Structure 1
Amino acid sequence: MPTLGEHMMARREQLAMSQNKAAKAFGGSRTTWINWEKDEVQPERFNYVRIETTLRWQPGSVKAILEGGEPTPIRDHSPPDDLSVMLEELGIDPGKWRRVPQSTKDAITTAYRIDRERRMKESQRPRNA
């Protein structure tokens, strides 16, 4: 059974992200990211949402892995770090975004990605004529 670190590394590579790029998108250090991938340290619970957002996993994926399950990828095709598109769609001033607390940014980003996933699924459903 793959570990959290092995899942993180495989997903990062699947997304064609370097460790540096993943750490930057996460908002932490490259060393921390590497330590997680090597399973030298387990991430704290408060980091789960940011890890899931960075790796484009559905909420609850980190917990699922730790409980012996599998992560659930978000099946969109936009870059995980395309912040400018999200801010524009939500009408958020990028200058003000920089002053938003990280926990609030995480919640907004996660909700945005979940909503975008829902909208994509709805747009793929056949319409009744």
Structure 2
Amino acid sequence: MRFSSITGYGNEPEQNTIGGRISIARETLELSLNKAAGTVDVSQTVWSNWERDRCEPPPQMLVRIAETLQVTLYWLLTGRGVGPCWRDLIEISPSTLECCWQAMEPSPLAEIFFPSSRLTAPR
């Protein structure tokens, strides 16, 4: 199962199966099929069959797969929780974040969540 775009958080068809989530996480890490399979001591064919939902990994392998893919077991099983880290989407410089925050409407919640932060929106 190929990963072609990131448009949401768990609603894509690719993320509705364990195989789809395995594929997405592996590709996000830019991990080759061979390398991924080798880390859990299975053949490329077996790993590929997992990704294509031809079979599911045995329960005793799930923790090793999650560790290899740097995701939580809960995400691997359900698609919820901590999944792959899309580095290109989360690398936001502090100055960019501050500009975005400053442009927002003042909110009383800012003091609750950022009580001593310099990112508190001006009033």
CA distance in 1, matches of 2:25, 2:34: 14
**What runs of 5+ residues in structure 1 fail to find an aligned partner?**
78-125
CA contact (8 A) 1:5 1:36 kept: yes
> Which string of whole-angstrom CA distances, capped at 9 and with x for unpartnered residues, describes residues 84-124 of structure 1?
xxxxxxxxxxxxxxxxxxxxxxxxxxxxxxxxxxxxxxxxx
CA distance in 1, matches of 2:35, 2:53: 19
CA distance in 2, matches of 1:24, 1:17: 11
CA distance in 2, matches of 1:32, 1:71: 26
CA distance in 2, matches of 1:71, 1:28: 26
Which of 50, 75, 84 does residue 64 from structure 2 map onto?
A: 50
Which of 7, 10, 17 does residue 31 from structure 2 map onto?
A: 17
CA distance in 1, matches of 2:84, 2:33: 20
CA distance in 2, matches of 1:62, 1:45: 12
CA distance in 1, matches of 2:81, 2:17: 11
- Tell me the matched-pair count: 73
CA contact (8 A) 1:58 1:74 kept: no
**What runs of 5+ residues in structure 2 fail to find an aligned partner?**
1-12, 88-115, 117-123
User: 1:70 aligned to 2:80?
Assistant: yes
Distance 1:71 1:40, change over 3 A: farther
User: 1:32 aligned to 2:42?
Assistant: no
Q: Secondary structure at the residue paired with 2:23? A: helix
CA contact (8 A) 1:4 1:37 kept: yes
Q: Which has the larger radius of gyration?
A: 2
Structure 2 letter corresponding to 1:37: E
CA contact (8 A) 2:28 2:84 kept: no
**Equivalent residues in 2 for 1:61-100 (5 A)?**
61-63=75-77, 65=78, 69-73=79-83
Structure 1 letter corresponding to 2:34: N
Q: Name the one with the larger helix percent.
A: 1
CA contact (8 A) 2:74 2:80 kept: no
CA distance in 2, matches of 1:19, 1:53: 15
